[in-house]
């Protein structure tokens, strides 16, 4: 060790410089606004795009939106949705989900089921407080899914608007589908090799 480095070490030891450096950091943070949330007393502001628990929705007059088409079940990569559909005897060609289950323990919150639904019957909510000691209670059935949809209706609709699934103020009962914004691409000219085929056909 050089003489200069040795002298520096002696001064540092004598003046407790490491302690003062550490105390400087402590004092600096004493005058900062704390960023720790005192959960659950304080709650975070959750964005409308948040993917929380799934809920089933009804139309404003109380009728169930779900037509039991199974598209959400087919789209789910985790195979955690089970829909059992039945015919409505009073309305020819009208179907509905007589049973609906989502095993939320398997759900990866990808949102594919919501995007696949042609009548926007499914939506994600801002609900995330459903931890439990009994895993079996996390198999959400139709009643529980509609309960979630009712309790979090405003957030569920905001989710659909934020993802371009539904337009605000619109409540059509027609089978409809809006592509999510992420899927819509600007119109591009066809690739050159396709252009050639088109030209040959038209010649």
In terms of DSSP H, where are the helices of the chain? 3-15, 17-30, 71-75, 112-116, 142-151, 153-162, 192-202
Q: How far is the CB of 108 from ligand SF4 (least distance, A)?
A: 4
Residues in 34-73 that interact with ligand SF4 by CB under 6 A: 66-72
SS3 9: helix
**Is 117 or 156 the residue whose CB approaches ligand SF4 more closely?**
117
d(CA 66, CA 84): 11
Sign of the C-alpha dihedral, residues 69, 169, 47, 125? negative
Give the neighbor-by-neighbor strand order of the sheet with 81-87.
81-87, 95-103, 139-140
178 makes contact with ligand SF4 (CB under 6 A)? no
Size of the site for ligand SF4 (CB under 6 A): 28
d(CA 119, CA 131): 30
Residues in 82-121 that interact with ligand SF4 by CB under 6 A: 83, 97, 102, 107-113, 116-117, 119, 121
**Is 131 or 202 the residue whose CB approaches ligand SF4 more closely?**
131
Q: How far is the CB of 50 from ligand SF4 (least distance, A)?
A: 12
Q: How far is the CB of 25 from ligand SF4 (least distance, A)?
A: 43
Chain residues binding ligand SF4 by CB under 6 A are 66-72, 75-78, 80-81, 83, 97, 102, 107-113, 116-117, 119, 121-122
């Amino acid at each position: 060790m050089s003489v200069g480095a040795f002298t520096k070490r002696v001064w540092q030891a004598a003046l407790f410089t490491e302690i003062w450096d550490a105390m400087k950091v402590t004092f600096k943070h004493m005058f900062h606004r704390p960023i720790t949330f005192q959960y659950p007393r304080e709650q975070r502001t959750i964005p409308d795009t948040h993917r929380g628990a799934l809920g089933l929705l009804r139309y404003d007059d109380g009728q169930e939106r779900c037509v039991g088409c199974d598209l959400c079940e087919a789209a789910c990569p985790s195979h955690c949705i089970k829909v059992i559909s039945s015919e409505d005897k009073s309305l020819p060609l009208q179907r509905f989900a007589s049973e609906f289950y989502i095993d939320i323990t398997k759900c990866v919150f990808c949102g594919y089921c919501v995007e696949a639904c042609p009548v926007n019957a499914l939506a994600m909510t801002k609900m995330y407080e459903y931890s439990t000691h009994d895993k079996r209670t996390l198999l959400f059935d139709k009643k529980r899914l509609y309960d979630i949809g009712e309790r979090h209706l405003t957030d569920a609709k905001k989710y659909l608007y934020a993802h371009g699934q539904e337009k605000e103020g619109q409540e059509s009962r027609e089978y409809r589908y809006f592509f999510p914004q992420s899927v819509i691409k600007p119109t591009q000219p066809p690739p050159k090799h396709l252009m050639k085929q088109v030209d040959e056909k038209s010649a």
